[in-house]
Every structure is written in C-alpha cells, then in structure tokens.
Amino acid sequence: MNTVPFGPRNPPEDPLLAKAAALPKDVAPSRDLWPGIAARIAKAEVAPARPVLRWPLTLAAALLVASVSALLTWSLVRDPQSATPAVIAAAPVPAGDFVPVSYGPNSGLTAKELAARDELFTQFRGAFETLRPETRDAIVKNLAIMQTAADQIDAALARDPASGMLKGMLVGTYKQELQLYSTVVTSHDGLTRRT
C-alpha cells in the first residue's frame, strides 16, 4: 500500500512511443503453457505460511478471510436470502453508534475483502464494549478519521481513476482499519493465541 503507482499513467507524448503504446499488450503463446506449470508446482511444496512476526496484520486478515470462507459461501455474499438462519445469526448487523468504514464506488476493494472486514468488525464490536471509555472514544474518533480519508480518496479517485497512488492509499486505509480491529480482538481477554 505504500509503494504504489505502478501501472500506466499519462499517455506518452512522443508519437513513436504512442505507436508502441497502441501495440497489443496481450499476446497468446502458440500453445497452452499451463500443463507444464501445473506439473512443476505440483512438485513444489504448498505455498508457505506468511511469517507471523513481521506481518501481524496480514495474518489476522488471512485468518479472518479463512473463517469467512468457512461461514459464508461466495453465493451467500451475493445473495443473503439463500443463507440458512444459523449462518445469518453468525454475522449480525452491528447495532449502536458506529459502523465499519464505508469505501466508495472507486475503491477497488472486493466484496470478499469487505466481508472479511465485516466479520472482523463483529468480533471487534464485542471486545470494544469491554474497553475503557477513553479508549473507546479514541477508537471512534479514529474510525471517523479513516472514514474522512476514505471519502477524500474516493473523491480524488473520481477525478483521477487511473491513479495507482490513490488506489494504494485506499487499500492502505482499509488495512489500517483491519489492523485496528485485529489489535483489539487479539488483545481481548479470553481470546488467546492458543485457542
């Protein structure tokens, strides 16, 4: 999220480079290369787990994504009506004075990423109630700050939708939101690393 703007920016001014830019970016190989790839990755070990020490955020997010997949099928996220009552009960609408950060239409965040965030928010909401008033206050204020940031980035993206910098900032804000929930949830009394 911090190293961003990779990808095409403004079109080159030079007519020669403009012609280069018009060339097809996708070229199909003469044969299907997948079987060769599949054979080689089958031999390799399964992708190793992320190192926990350095990236607690991604571990928490990965765990939550895994638990979301277990609770909710992809079709459920698309069509809540198809859920069984038990599953709906597992992801209640958060009551009370605040809701997760809302990212605008230009965010590029997937429904699955938002579902993972919502699931984490539900757990966070429970732990939140047990915190000190000044801590709860600080959290609510900072969620509002994140919401303002998301709104500003979204407005900027509407004007410059190709900006990798802006998209990266938005993903960064989303990750900060996840990190906040994750810290509160994993520090909560009764929820230990061993369970």
Contacts of other proteins in 157-186 (CB under 8 A): 159-160, 163-166, 168-169, 171-173, 175-176, 179-180, 183-184, 186
**CA gap 68, 113 in Å, rounded:** 10
User: Cα angle at 182 between 61 and 102, to 5 degrees?
Assistant: 75
Q: Which is nearer to other proteins, 66 or 86 (CB)?
A: 66
How far, in Å, CA of 57 to CA of 94, rounded? 22
C-beta of 8 vs 80, nearer to other proteins: 8
Report how many residues bind other proteins under the rule CB under 8 A.
98
Residues 110-129 that bind other proteins (CB under 8 A): 110, 112-113, 129
Q: How far is the CB of 143 from other proteins (least distance, A)?
A: 9
Q: Is residue 97 involved in binding other proteins (CB under 8 A)?
A: no
Sign of CA dihedral 185, 180, 175, 75: positive
User: Could you say which of 85, 89, 190, 195 contacts other proteins (CB under 8 A)?
Assistant: 190
Integer Cα distance of 177 and 120 in angstroms: 10
* Site for other proteins contains 3 (CB under 8 A): yes
How far apart CA 89 and CA 71 sit, in angstroms, is 11
Cα 95–178–186 angle (5° rounding)? 85
CA atoms within 13 A on the CB side of 96: 12
99 is an interface residue for other proteins by CB under 8 A:
no
Q: Which of 96, 142, 158, 195 binds other proteins (CB under 8 A)?
A: 142
Instruction: Determine, following the binding rule CB under 8 A, whether residue 86 of this chain makes contact with other proteins.
Output: no
What x/- string results for residues 37 through 76 when contact with other proteins is judged by CB under 8 A?
xx-xxx-x-xxxxx-xxx-xxx---x--xx----------
Cβ 96 vs Cβ 121: under 8 Å:
no
